[in-house]
């Protein structure tokens, strides 16, 4: 199960380009660079409260995008399917395992 922080980081990877630049910068500093609100405020030149407001707004937007588009949920479903396919390969010959595993690893979504 994903933690809230992990979920926000993944949503940011998926939908971050849709956020206003200032909001995206705050989320990147706080969640990806693991800075405190005060440290993020120093880096952005806005107040600690301003950073907090940007984080709240940004996470709301990210959750809204996911609710409407569902790309993160689809990503998780696809990862699960790939794991099941790899498990099913256990009875295949080694050459087939290598070829199918390489194909599955090359998928991007």
Quick one: 53 and 11 in the same domain?
yes
Quick one: 9 and 58 in the same domain?
yes
Helix axes 48-69, 4-15, angle to 10 degrees: 70
Q: How confident is the model at residue 109 (pLDDT cuts 50, 70, 90)?
A: low
Q: Of the candidates 11, 3, 2, which has an alpha carbon nearest to the alpha carbon of residue 63? A: 11
Range of the domain at 92: 74-106
Quick one: 28 and 80 in the same domain?
no
Q: How confident is the model at residue 22 (pLDDT cuts 50, 70, 90)?
A: very high
Q: How confident is the model at residue 83 (pLDDT cuts 50, 70, 90)?
A: confident
Cβ(15)–Cβ(62) below 8 Å = yes
Quick one: 58 and 8 in the same domain?
yes
> How far is 69 from 103, CA to CA, in rounded Å?
26
Quick one: 43 and 22 in the same domain?
yes
Quick one: 32 and 80 in the same domain?
no
Distances (CA, A) of 33 to 16, 27, 66, 75, 97: 15, 9, 22, 24, 38
Q: How many other CB atoms are there within 10 angstroms of residue 95's CB atom?
A: 8
């Amino acid at each position: 199960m994903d933690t809230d922080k992990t979920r926000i980081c993944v949503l940011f990877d998926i939908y971050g380009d849709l956020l206003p630049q200032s909001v995206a910068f705050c989320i990147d500093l706080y969640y990806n660079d693991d800075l405190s609100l005060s440290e993020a405020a120093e880096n952005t030149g806005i107040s600690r409260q301003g950073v907090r407001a940007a984080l709240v707004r940004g996470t709301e937007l990210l959750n809204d995008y996911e609710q409407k588009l569902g790309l993160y949920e689809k990503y998780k479903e696809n990862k699960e399917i790939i794991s099941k396919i790899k498990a099913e390969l256990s009875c295949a010959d080694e050459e087939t395992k290598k070829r199918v595993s390489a194909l599955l690893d090359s998928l991007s979504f």
